[in-house]
Amino acid sequence: MNTETNPRLDFFRSQIGNSLIQSPSPLGRWLNATLKDVQHGTMTVEVTVRQDMTNPLGTLHGGAAAAIMDDLVGMMVFGLGREYGYTSVNLNCDFLNAARIGDVLTAHAHVVRAGKNVIHCEARISNLEGKIVAKCSTNMIQTGVKLPF
Protein backbone atom coordinates (compact mmCIF):
# COMPACT_ATOMS: atom_id res chain seq x y z
CA MET A 1 0.00 0.00 0.00
CA ASN A 2 1.20 3.48 -0.77
CA THR A 3 2.35 5.02 2.53
CA GLU A 4 0.94 8.39 1.49
CA THR A 5 -2.62 7.01 1.28
CA ASN A 6 -2.55 4.71 4.30
CA PRO A 7 -5.57 5.43 6.55
CA ARG A 8 -4.21 3.18 9.34
CA LEU A 9 -0.93 5.06 9.48
CA ASP A 10 -2.81 8.36 9.33
CA PHE A 11 -4.98 7.22 12.25
CA PHE A 12 -1.95 6.29 14.36
CA ARG A 13 -0.29 9.61 13.52
CA SER A 14 -3.41 11.43 14.71
CA GLN A 15 -3.02 9.63 18.07
CA ILE A 16 0.55 10.76 18.82
CA GLY A 17 0.70 12.06 22.37
CA ASN A 18 -2.45 10.18 23.39
CA SER A 19 -2.91 7.16 25.60
CA LEU A 20 -3.81 3.94 23.80
CA ILE A 21 -6.61 3.26 26.33
CA GLN A 22 -9.00 2.96 23.35
CA SER A 23 -6.85 0.47 21.46
CA PRO A 24 -8.74 -2.31 19.68
CA SER A 25 -6.44 -4.68 21.59
CA PRO A 26 -7.72 -5.47 25.12
CA LEU A 27 -4.12 -6.16 26.17
CA GLY A 28 -3.08 -2.86 24.61
CA ARG A 29 -5.72 -1.05 26.66
CA TRP A 30 -4.37 -2.71 29.82
CA LEU A 31 -0.82 -1.64 28.96
CA ASN A 32 -2.09 1.95 28.55
CA ALA A 33 0.95 3.15 26.59
CA THR A 34 1.23 6.62 25.11
CA LEU A 35 1.98 6.81 21.41
CA LYS A 36 5.12 8.91 20.82
CA ASP A 37 6.14 8.44 17.18
CA VAL A 38 4.74 6.72 14.10
CA GLN A 39 6.44 6.23 10.73
CA HIS A 40 5.97 3.60 8.05
CA GLY A 41 7.73 0.57 9.53
CA THR A 42 8.52 2.08 12.94
CA MET A 43 6.55 2.96 16.05
CA THR A 44 7.42 4.21 19.52
CA VAL A 45 5.38 4.25 22.73
CA GLU A 46 5.98 5.23 26.34
CA VAL A 47 4.84 3.02 29.22
CA THR A 48 4.95 3.63 32.98
CA VAL A 49 5.54 0.50 35.05
CA ARG A 50 2.59 -0.15 37.38
CA GLN A 51 2.40 -2.58 40.29
CA ASP A 52 0.15 -4.94 38.31
CA MET A 53 2.97 -5.29 35.73
CA THR A 54 5.55 -6.53 38.23
CA ASN A 55 6.82 -9.85 39.55
CA PRO A 56 7.24 -10.72 43.26
CA LEU A 57 10.57 -8.83 43.27
CA GLY A 58 8.77 -5.61 42.36
CA THR A 59 10.37 -5.39 38.92
CA LEU A 60 8.76 -5.45 35.49
CA HIS A 61 7.55 -8.99 34.82
CA GLY A 62 9.13 -10.61 31.77
CA GLY A 63 5.68 -11.46 30.46
CA ALA A 64 4.64 -7.82 30.72
CA ALA A 65 7.79 -6.72 28.88
CA ALA A 66 7.10 -9.32 26.18
CA ALA A 67 3.49 -8.12 25.96
CA ILE A 68 4.61 -4.50 25.49
CA MET A 69 6.91 -5.48 22.62
CA ASP A 70 4.47 -7.93 21.00
CA ASP A 71 1.56 -5.48 21.12
CA LEU A 72 3.73 -2.66 19.76
CA VAL A 73 4.98 -4.80 16.87
CA GLY A 74 1.40 -5.84 16.12
CA MET A 75 0.24 -2.21 15.95
CA MET A 76 3.19 -1.26 13.78
CA VAL A 77 2.55 -4.11 11.32
CA PHE A 78 -1.16 -3.20 11.23
CA GLY A 79 -0.03 0.32 10.35
CA LEU A 80 1.77 -0.97 7.26
CA GLY A 81 -1.61 -1.00 5.55
CA ARG A 82 -1.55 -4.57 4.30
CA GLU A 83 -4.78 -6.15 3.02
CA TYR A 84 -4.64 -9.11 5.45
CA GLY A 85 -3.93 -9.32 9.16
CA TYR A 86 -0.68 -10.70 10.56
CA THR A 87 -0.04 -12.65 13.74
CA SER A 88 3.10 -13.57 15.70
CA VAL A 89 4.67 -16.95 15.03
CA ASN A 90 7.52 -16.41 17.47
CA LEU A 91 8.82 -13.83 19.92
CA ASN A 92 12.41 -14.23 21.11
CA CYS A 93 13.07 -11.99 24.11
CA ASP A 94 16.13 -10.99 26.10
CA PHE A 95 15.64 -9.32 29.49
CA LEU A 96 18.70 -7.21 30.22
CA ASN A 97 17.95 -4.72 33.02
CA ALA A 98 15.31 -4.37 35.72
CA ALA A 99 12.57 -1.74 35.65
CA ARG A 100 10.65 -0.81 38.80
CA ILE A 101 7.24 0.60 39.65
CA GLY A 102 7.01 4.18 38.42
CA ASP A 103 9.78 3.84 35.84
CA VAL A 104 8.93 5.44 32.52
CA LEU A 105 9.99 3.21 29.65
CA THR A 106 10.25 3.82 25.92
CA ALA A 107 9.44 0.93 23.60
CA HIS A 108 10.45 1.15 19.94
CA ALA A 109 9.69 -1.32 17.16
CA HIS A 110 10.85 -1.45 13.57
CA VAL A 111 10.50 -3.68 10.53
CA VAL A 112 13.71 -5.45 9.55
CA ARG A 113 12.33 -7.18 6.46
CA ALA A 114 8.81 -7.12 5.08
CA GLY A 115 8.19 -10.09 2.79
CA LYS A 116 4.91 -11.00 1.16
CA ASN A 117 3.89 -13.51 3.85
CA VAL A 118 6.35 -13.01 6.71
CA ILE A 119 7.41 -9.72 8.30
CA HIS A 120 10.50 -9.83 10.53
CA CYS A 121 10.59 -7.15 13.25
CA GLU A 122 12.63 -6.10 16.25
CA ALA A 123 11.64 -4.17 19.35
CA ARG A 124 13.37 -2.87 22.44
CA ILE A 125 12.36 -1.29 25.73
CA SER A 126 14.69 1.29 27.29
CA ASN A 127 14.58 3.29 30.50
CA LEU A 128 15.14 7.05 30.76
CA GLU A 129 18.89 6.49 31.23
CA GLY A 130 19.02 4.66 27.91
CA LYS A 131 19.61 1.21 29.41
CA ILE A 132 17.92 -1.56 27.45
CA VAL A 133 15.40 -3.29 29.72
CA ALA A 134 14.34 -5.88 27.14
CA LYS A 135 14.62 -6.55 23.42
CA CYS A 136 13.07 -9.00 21.02
CA SER A 137 12.96 -10.26 17.48
CA THR A 138 9.76 -11.65 16.05
CA ASN A 139 8.20 -12.95 12.88
CA MET A 140 4.66 -12.07 11.90
CA ILE A 141 2.86 -14.25 9.36
CA GLN A 142 0.00 -13.26 7.11
CA THR A 143 -3.37 -14.72 8.08
CA GLY A 144 -6.45 -15.29 5.94
CA VAL A 145 -8.28 -12.51 7.79
CA LYS A 146 -9.00 -9.58 5.49
CA LEU A 147 -8.79 -6.26 7.31
CA PRO A 148 -11.63 -3.74 7.11
CA PHE A 149 -9.57 -0.70 6.09
Q: Which domains does the chain have, with CATH numbers?
A: 7-146 (3.10.129.10)
Identify the three-state secondary structure at position 124: strand
| Strand pairing category for 42-48 and 132-146 | unpaired
| Residues 35 and 15: beta-carbon distance below 8 Å | yes
Q: Which helix (H) or strand (E) holds 76?
A: helix 62-78
| Residues 9 and 38: beta-carbon distance below 8 Å | yes
Q: Give me the pLDDT at residue 23, please.
A: 85
Residue 4 pLDDT grade (very low, low, confident, very high; cuts 50, 70, 90): low
pLDDT of 63 over the 80 cut: yes
